[in-house]
Structure formats: structure tokens, C-alpha cells
């Protein structure tokens, strides 16, 4: 899947990994942890987010500890993409490794909560279906999109090794 359409969930700057994967639930299953994703800033997020919805963040999305569970929670919740002005490097890498497309989106302040967005990670387009406005972003490179479409790094490697074996 290279494109997703869903509701915008808007957050501000410095959304950290502790908000995405609260430390209180680190010893729980990944599914339990995901059910508490972002609850301290949006209590109903994990209960209400739907397959393909888009998170819109500001500066330094995913800052904090290197816990991969932050990106995994978004994968479990079937978030279609994350748009942000900038990302913490480790979060960005973890998200792609779990098959969650992340696109740099400097115009994030133009998106409102609950806007309907269509994001195409290959063509580098973001369309706000609510306002009709269209944006261009840097697309995700083809080799990384192949990994994302395969479900992330591990499924991608398994697929590659199965072909080679």
C-alpha cells in the first residue's frame, strides 16, 4: 500500500516516545501498550483511530528514548502515515522498519483535527480532502517503500531470503 486515506490526528511539537509507548506498560504485551498510545495528550486516540488514519505532528516528532515500541504501537493501531515537520532520527528509522510511512511535512499547521487526508508516499503528495488543498512532499525512496509495503524490515528480509533460498 503506497497511499492511505484517513482522518487527521493533529499533535504539536516534541511528541515523544513516552507518549507513544508509555513506560508504565513496558512489561505488558505490545497490544496492551498500543492501547495506551498517546493517551496522556489524546485520551481516546487508541480507541478511536481507524485503519489508515494519519498522524500530523510538528517539530521533532518521536523525540525521546530509542524505544521501538513507540513506532510499533502505531503499526499495531494501523496508522496509515505520519506527517511531521521533522522527526527524531531513531523514531524515523524505527517507524520505517515497522512499515509506518513517515513524511516530512512543513505545512503541518495548515491541517486541522479531523480533516480527511489522502497521502501517497510514492508520489510525494498529500491532499486535504476537506479543504481541497494539495501539497508536495519528498517521497519515500523506492527501496524503502518496498520494505514498507512488505510490512517492515523483518517481513521484507524474510521475503528476500525466501526468494534467494
Q: What is the pLDDT of residues 107-165, one digit of tens each?
A: 999 999 999 999 999 999 999 999 999 999 999 998 999 999 999 999 999 998 888 87
Q: Is the pLDDT of residue 1 over 70?
A: no
Q: Residue 95 is placed in which grid cell?
A: 517507524
Share of residues in the chain with pLDDT > 70 (%) = 99
Q: What is the pLDDT of residue 87?
A: 98
Q: From CA 147, how far away is CA 4, in angstroms rounded?
A: 16
C-alpha 27/C-alpha 11 separation (Å) is 26
Query: How many Å apart are CA 31 and CA 10, to the nearest integer?
Result: 23
Full-model pTM: 0.94
In this structure, which long-range contacts are made by residues 129-135, counting pairs with CB atoms below 8 Å and at least 24 apart in sequence?
129/5, 135/105, 135/107
Per domain, the residue ranges of the chain are: 3-164
Cross-strand partners of 117: 6, 128
What distance in Å separates the CA atoms of residue 148 and residue 128, rounded to the nearest whole number? Answer: 23
Quick one: cell of 106? 512543513
Q: What is the CATH number that goes with domain 3-164?
A: 3.20.19.10
Strands lying side by side in the sheet with 3-10 = 102-104, 81-84, 54-57, 3-10, 116-120, 125-128, 134-136
Amino acid at each position: 500500500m503506497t497511499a492511505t486515506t484517513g482522518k487527521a490526528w493533529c499533535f504539536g511539537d516534541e511528541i515523544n516516545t513516552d507518549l507513544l509507548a508509555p513506560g508504565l506498560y513496558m512489561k505488558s504485551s505490545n497490544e496492551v501498550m498500543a492501547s495506551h498510545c498517546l493517551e496522556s495528550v489524546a485520551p481516546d486516540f487508541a480507541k478511536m483511530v481507524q485503519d489508515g488514519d494519519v498522524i500530523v505532528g510538528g517539530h521533532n516528532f518521536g523525540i525521546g528514548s530509542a524505544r521501538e515500541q513507540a513506532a510499533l504501537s502505531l503499526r499495531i493501531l494501523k496508522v496509515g502515515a505520519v506527517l511531521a515537520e521533522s522527526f527524531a532520527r531513531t523514531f524515523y528509522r524505527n517507524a520505517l522498519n515497522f512499515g509506518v510511512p513517515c513524511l516530512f511535512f512543513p505545512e503541518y499547521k495548515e491541517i486541522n483535527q479531523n480533516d480527511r487526508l489522502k497521502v501517497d508516499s510514492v508520489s510525494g503528495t498529500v491532499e486535504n480532502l476537506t479543504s481541497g488543498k494539495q501539497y508536495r512532499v519528498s517521497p519515500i525512496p523506492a527501496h524503502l517503500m518496498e520494505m514498507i509495503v512488505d510490512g517492515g524490515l523483518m517481513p521484507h528480509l524474510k521475503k528476500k531470503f525466501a526468494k534467494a533460498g
